[in-house]
Every structure is written in structure tokens, then in C-alpha cells.
Amino acid sequence: MQLSYVEGMERLVLVVQQLATARTLEAVMVIVRSAARELSGADGATFVLRDDDHCHYADEEAIGPLWKGKRFPLHTCISGWAMLHREPVVIANIYADPRIPHDAYRPTFVKSLAMTPIRRIDPVGAIGTYWATQYTPTPEQLRLLQGLADAVSVALENVDLLANLERRVEERTAQLQMINDELESFSSAVSHDLRAPLRAIDAFTAQLAEDHGEALGSVGLAVLKRVHGATSRMQALVEDLLALSKASRGVLARDQVDLAALAREILGELQRADPQREVQVVIAPDLRVDGDPRLLRAVLDNLLGNAWKFTRKRPRGRIEVGHGADDCVFVRDNGAGFDPTYQDKLFRPFQRLHSSTEFEGTGIGLATVHRIIHRHGGRIWAESAPGEGATFSFTLDG
Ligand SMILES: Nc1ncnc2c1ncn2[C@@H]1O[C@H](COP(=O)(O)OP(=O)(O)O)[C@@H](O)[C@H]1O
Ligand SMILES: [Mg+2]
């Protein structure tokens, strides 16, 4: 079907818009092969890419097979000629033209052709159009083809830029991942190695107090007590850092986990360790989720441990574990609460909103929880007001 020049221009505008959104070479080729045929009214079109000193017939759309997938040396084919001479070629009778490799054309339907280089100053390819009967394309058709080729050169540059950009992002991500892994295994190794000397300090100070308590006197014993306190805090820190690093490493197991049963168990342990506390516990009967059982236990250990800790000053504490909207699970308490302005900070390591004289801690628990939830493809958030208790909710998608 032959388009009028105005119809051709309208079609070209659409094609240019399509090309502007093409993100891959394949997408560009799909657009070009049919547009080239339509704009020129040809019986076939090829999309040729320059590949060093070869022409690569990358794609085609035609009434019969042409050379899709084949490569020819630049100086033996007409697309190579158009690229090397940086100008379009029109050949009404291909068998009368010595630039044409006649053997390559004999098996095809082609009698006439027009070849338009892509990117005039330094061609990166060409658009071929072919007719089964002798035909000379009109100047309008040639202008439309040139318009198409110009749009294609921009589209190819976009594709190239995007591919480069994506490659750079991938490289950076891989680098960051590597640095992250190194840091992770470093902190894990350090934490590990700190355990033994800490145990030794603790054991020797205990021995000192026991065997030489009288000689040390009350002042000396008080100093030893502070050594013991500091060692315990460091031990807690080391254990928490190890837990954080374990939360980030290793493959994620997927199992059905009943968070309700887990919560009952953990709160039972907390109550046994702190028998004089009076805490009302409300747990939904059934909270089944899919996830890594060991890591989900760490999540509840931390959230319930916090709820237990921050309700300490309430004469009657209350801790609730249940199902919220949108399939989320929440842990709610009526404890000290916190200023919600800083709630994003909570999930970062070492960030605490309460002083350690008021509530002891390392500030690593919620960072661990955050990592675990994210590794599951979920989300965690907190709601609170000072003195009003706190609610931590999370989802586990993916
Ligand atoms: N249930 C809660 N109620 C009030 N504040 C909380 C609660 N859970 C966490 N927070 C706040 O978030 C901070 C970080 O929590 P976390 O990482 O578990 O550290 P830690 O428990 O060692 O202090 C806490 O120090 C506290 O300020
Ligand atoms: Mg905590």
C-alpha cells in the first residue's frame, strides 16, 4: 500500500514517538522493519547494523526471505557502500549495477532497492528497502526513509546509553555488595573473637573477688563490680552484633511458622525470668506465616523483649500480639512509648530513644528485626506517642 506524503509524515511522527520509548535494540528493530516498509511502500525491509568491517543483516520483514542473521564484508554489499560513502543509494535495476553482489540477490525477490544510512556523519547501520518489480522510490518516500533513519540513530544512542547506564549500576551494585559482605564477615569475625577474652575477664574478676575479696576491701570490690557490669554490657553488645550479622547472612529458609505459639513461648520465658512482674498477655489464637523459623524467632525475641522492657514501669503491663489490617502482624504494649518524630531512626543500628540509665540496651535489636523483615520482602513500621505505649507492625511478603 502506498501512503500519501501527508499520511507518511503522520505515520513517521508516530514512529518517532514509539522509537523515543524503545529501551532495547530488539524494540527498535521491531518498530523499524515495519515502519520502513510502510513509509516507502516497499515489498521488504532490512535493518542492517555495522559490525566492525561487516554488515550484519540483523532483522527483516519482507514478502520472501532476504538475509536475516547473515554478515557480509562492508565492501561487498550495498549497505556497506551506503555506510562507507555516508549517502543513500537508490538502484532501480539491481542486475545492472556492479556494486550489487548478484549471487546474493538471485535467490530473493528483489529487483529494485533503496538503502538509507543510519547516522549520516558516522553511519552505524542502514535501512534497506526492496521492491519485487522495478521501481524508483519518489523523493518524498526517500525523505520519509531519511527521517526514519535519523530517528533510529537517536533511538540507538538511547539504547546504548541505557545499556551503559544499566551496566554501570550493576557494576556499582556488585561492588557495594562485595564491600558489604566483607564488612559483614569482618564484624562477625571480630565479634566472635571478642567472646573468649570477655569470658576470661569475667572469670578472672570473679576469681579475684572470691579469693582476694578481703584484701581488696569494699572499694576494690566496688571497682570489680563495675568491671563485671561493663563486661556484661560488652557481652550483650557482641551477642547482638553477632545476631545482626546472622540476620543478614545465609540462605533464607521458608517454612510455615506459627507466630502465636512462638510468642507464647517467648513471653513465658520472659515471665519466668522476671516472676514478680505482672503483665497481661493477649495473643491471637493463630498467626501462621511463611518464613525463616530461626530468623522469625529473632524478630519476636526482639519485639517482645522490647515490649517487656518498656512496660517495666507500668504497675500492670499489657502486651498484645495479633493480626492487623492488610495481613500485618502487630506487637503492642502499654509501656513508655517514644516520640514518633524519630521513628525512622529506631531501625538503624545503635539508635536508641531512651537513655541506658532508664532502660538498658544496645540499640541493635530493631536493626536486626528490620533486616530480617526486609530479607523476607516485607515491611515494618511503628506507631507510638510518649507515655502511650508502642505498636510495631510488620508484613512478610514475597
Ligand atoms: N516497645 C517499645 N516501646 C518504646 N520504645 C521502644 C520500643 N521498642 C523500641 N523502642 C525504642 O527503640 C530503640 C531501639 O530499640 P532496639 O533496637 O531494640 O534497642 P534496645 O532494645 O537495645 O534499646 C529503643 O532504645 C527504644 O528507644
Ligand atoms: Mg531491644
In this predicted model, what pLDDT tens digit does every residue of 220-263 receive, in sequence order? 999 999 999 999 999 998 999 888 888 888 889 999 999 999 99
Closest ligand to the CA of 340: 1
Q: What is the pLDDT of residue 398?
A: 53
Q: Say if residue 105's pLDDT is above 90.
A: yes
378 Cβ inside 6 Å of ligand 1: no
pLDDT tens by residue, 106-163: 999 999 999 999 998 899 999 999 999 999 999 999 999 999 999 999 999 989 888 8
Ligand 1 pocket, residue 354 CB under 6 Å? yes
Q: Return the residue whose CA atom lies nearest to atom 24 of ligand 1.
A: 352
CB-ligand 1 contact for 236 (6 Å cutoff) = no
Diameter of the chain by CA atoms? 117
Confidence of residue 211 (pLDDT cuts 50, 70, 90): very high
Pocket test for ligand 1, best of 299, 306, 312 (most atoms within 8 A of CB): 306
Query: For residue 350, what is the DSSP state?
Result: T
Ligand 1 pocket test, candidate residues 234, 352, 369, most atoms within 8 A of CB: 352
Query: HSE (CB half, 13 Å, CA atoms) of 243?
Result: 25
pLDDT digits (tens, 9 = 90+) for 355-385: 989 999 999 999 999 999 999 999 999 999 9
Domains and CATH numbers, the chain: 5-164 (3.30.450.40), 255-395 (3.30.565.10)
Residue with cell 553488645: 237
DSSP 323: E
Query: How distant is the alpha carbon of residue 141 from its chain centre?
Result: 46
- Residue 361, classed as helix, strand or coil, is coil
**Mutation test residue for ligand 1: of 244, 312, 338, the one with most atoms within 8 Å of CB:** 338
List, in sequence order, every residue forming a beta bridge with 110; answer none if it has no partner: none
Alpha-carbon gap, residue 252 to 295, rounded angstroms: 9
Does this model's pTM top 0.85? My answer is: no
Q: Of the bound ligands, which one is closest to the alpha carbon of residue 307? A: 1
Q: What is the DSSP string of 145-206?
A: HHHHHHHHHHHHHHHHHHHHHHHHHHHHHHHHHHHHHHHHHHHHHHHHHHHHHHHHHHHHHH
- Which whole-number Å values give the CA distances from 234 to 110, 228, 238, 306, 373, in the listed order? 83, 10, 6, 19, 26
For ligand 1, say whether the CB of 352 is within 6 Å of any of its atoms: yes
Closest-CA residue, ligand 1 atom 7, reads 306
Q: Is 384 helix (H, G, I), strand (E, B) or coil?
A: strand
Average confidence score pLDDT of the chain? 93
* Mean pLDDT of the region 80-105: 95
CB-ligand 1 contact for 366 (6 Å cutoff): yes
What is the whole-number distance in angstroms between the Cα of residue 279 and the centre of ligand 2?
A: 18
How far, in Å, from the CA of 247 to the mean position of ligand 1?
Answer: 18
Whether 346 lines ligand 1, by a CB cut-off of 6 Å, is yes
Nearest protein Cα to ligand 1, atom 9: 306
Ligand nearest to the CA of 368: 1
Distance 82 CA to ligand 2 centre (A): 71
Element (H, E) at 54: strand 54-62
153-199 confidence digits (pLDDT tens): 999 998 988 888 889 999 999 998 888 888 888 888 888 899 999 99
What ligand is nearest to the CA atom of residue 350? 1
Please say if the pLDDT value at position 390 is more than 80: yes
- Between CA 103 and CA 48 the distance in angstroms is 19
pLDDT of residue 343: 85
pLDDT at 2 over 90: no
The answer to whether 73 and 49 have CB atoms below 8 angstroms apart is no
Instruction: Read off the pLDDT of residues 4-20 as tens digits, 9 standing for 90 and up.
Output: 888 889 999 999 999 99
| Predicted pLDDT of residue 187 | 83
Closest approach atom of ligand 1 to CA 392: 1
Whether 38 has a pLDDT exceeding 80, the answer reads yes
In this prediction, residue 334 carries a pLDDT of 97
Q: Kindly write down the DSSP assignment for every residue of 205-257, as one continuous string.
A: HHHHHHHHHHHHHHHHHHHHHHHHHHHHHHHHHHHHHHHHHHHHSSPPP-EEE
